[in-house]
Amino acid sequence: MQTPLDVGVDVAKDSVMAACAAGSFAPRMVANRREALRAWLSTLPTGSRIGLESTGRYHRLLADLAHEMGFVVYVLNPKDTSYYAKGLGRRGKTDRVDAEVLARYVSKEHDKLHRYVPPSAEQRAIDRLLKRRAKLVVLKGALRATGEDLSECRRQLDDVLRRLALLIEKIDGHLRTLTQASETHRRSQQRLQTIVGIGPLVSTSLANEFTRIPFRSADAFIAHTGLDPRPWDSGQKTGRRRLSKRGPGELRRLLFIAAMAAARTPVWKPTYDRHRARGLPSTAALVVLARRIARVAWAVHYRQTDFDPARLAA
């Protein structure tokens, strides 16, 4: 029986570069096509660990195919692997060097990494629509701000803004259709919307995360959102806490928006006011509230119960 290998793969649009931490095979280039990837993966020992960076979409084919064939797959944060390469003293960057760094990273750190969990087609579609919607909302706001003093182009600008609004509404319709298609997703979203401050869009994003990734605790989910405070202490010095901002940025933004809405409600306003009374700026108090809402959302989903404001007050 062959010993499982630790493999690093640097992914590009048309090809991937693979390297092995143990040097069991020379670094090789493989076309980023299903047939070529499947043929290469079939040469690896059963149980091998494969690490590759998140590239947006180019890594998905290899990650899904390797998982389907029974390999352990890690989709890594490029920022982490970049710091790791610098820590190793790597002064250059090539596809081969990147693949070798990824292979070593997987070999040394695999027990601390999270395995890749492929999303379903519906989950991937929801995630894609949420990201595109966020881009359109940002674009719409930028156009409105840019055109405030363009009276000579007001009519044309208003027409563009109306078209963007219609496009956003169409995306919202597609999101509702996808949500209704999954009974699990629909029920989770309904429960999440019982939380004061969480609306259809935020509940859709939360349900999509919860139904895909089995978070073991509320702390694990907070870390996933990037709302966890990062310590910065040394000796007698206690540094200022800052958010790690890891994980999906759009989910983090939506939770902050939910906190802004919740802070004006009788249910959550006492929590917000309490942190403001402690001297926290409004943004910091809203971040604390967003983190609290995220914890409640985790509990509502995994306990399969509706939100109870009385328990929050207690």
CATH number at residue 75: 3.30.420.40
CA distances from 11 to 36, 41, 59, 83, 98 (A): 14, 14, 6, 18, 10
Residues 142 and 36 in one domain: no
Nearest to 160 by CA among 144, 145, 174: 144
Share of the chain above pLDDT 70, in %: 99
**Is 18 within the bounds of a domain?**
yes
Residues 166 and 214 in one domain: no
Instruction: Categorize the per-residue pLDDT at 314 as very low, low, confident or very high, splitting at 50, 70 and 90.
Output: low
Residues whose CB is less than 8 angstroms from the CB of residue 73 and which lie 6 or more positions away in sequence, other chains included: 49, 50, 51, 52, 63, 66, 67, 115, 116
Q: Are 41 and 49 in contact (CB under 8 A)?
A: no
Instruction: Categorize the per-residue pLDDT at 282 as very low, low, confident or very high, splitting at 50, 70 and 90.
Output: very high
**Is 117 within the bounds of a domain?**
no
Residues 172 and 188 in one domain: no
pLDDT in tens, 32-86: 999 999 999 999 999 999 999 988 889 999 999 999 999 999 999 998 899 999 9
Average pLDDT of 16-32? 94
- Dihedral over alpha carbons 127, 130, 132, 133 (to 10 degrees): 170
Average pLDDT of 9-36? 94
**Is 176 within the bounds of a domain?**
yes
Distance of CA 177 to the CA centre of its chain: 22
Task: Give CA–CA dist 119/270, Å, rounded.
Answer: 38
Which of 181, 197, 224 corresponds to the end of one domain? Answer: 181
Tokens of 24: 């069991």
**Is 120 within the bounds of a domain?**
no
Q: 17 pairs with which residues across the strands?
A: 10, 29
**Is 124 within the bounds of a domain?**
no
Residues 102 and 73 in one domain: yes
CA distances from 14 to 36, 57, 59, 82, 102 (A): 11, 12, 11, 22, 19
Distance of CA 20 to the CA centre of its chain: 28
Residues 308 and 203 in one domain: yes
Task: Give CA–CA dist 14/269, Å, rounded.
Answer: 52
Q: How many helices (DSSP H) and strands (DSSP E) are in the chain?
A: 13, 9
Residues 40 and 98 in one domain: yes
**Is 121 within the bounds of a domain?**
no
Quote the domain boundaries for residue 86: 6-112
Task: Give CA–CA dist 69/37, Å, rounded.
Answer: 11
The whole-chain average pLDDT of the chain stands at 92
Task: Give CA–CA dist 131/249, Å, rounded.
Answer: 9
Residues 235 and 282 in one domain: yes
| Number of independent structural domains in the chain | 3
Q: Assign 233 to helix, strand or coil.
A: strand
pLDDT of residue 90: 85
Task: Give CA–CA dist 196/310, Å, rounded.
Answer: 12
Average pLDDT of 14-34? 94
pLDDT in tens, 146-160: 877 777 788 888 899
Task: Give CA–CA dist 1/312, Å, rounded.
Answer: 55
Residues 191 and 305 in one domain: yes
**Is 119 within the bounds of a domain?**
no
Residues 83 and 150 in one domain: no
Instruction: Categorize the per-residue pLDDT at 2 as very low, low, confident or very high, splitting at 50, 70 and 90.
Output: confident
Backbone angles phi, psi at 88, to 5 degrees: -80, -5
Q: Are 32 and 12 in contact (CB under 8 A)?
A: yes
Which uninterrupted H or E stretch holds 243? strand 242-243
Residues 54 and 90 in one domain: yes
Q: Are 295 and 224 in contact (CB under 8 A)?
A: no
Residues 202 and 304 in one domain: yes
pLDDT in tens, 190-239: 999 999 999 999 999 999 999 988 899 999 999 999 999 888 888 888 88
CA Rg, the chain, in Å? 23
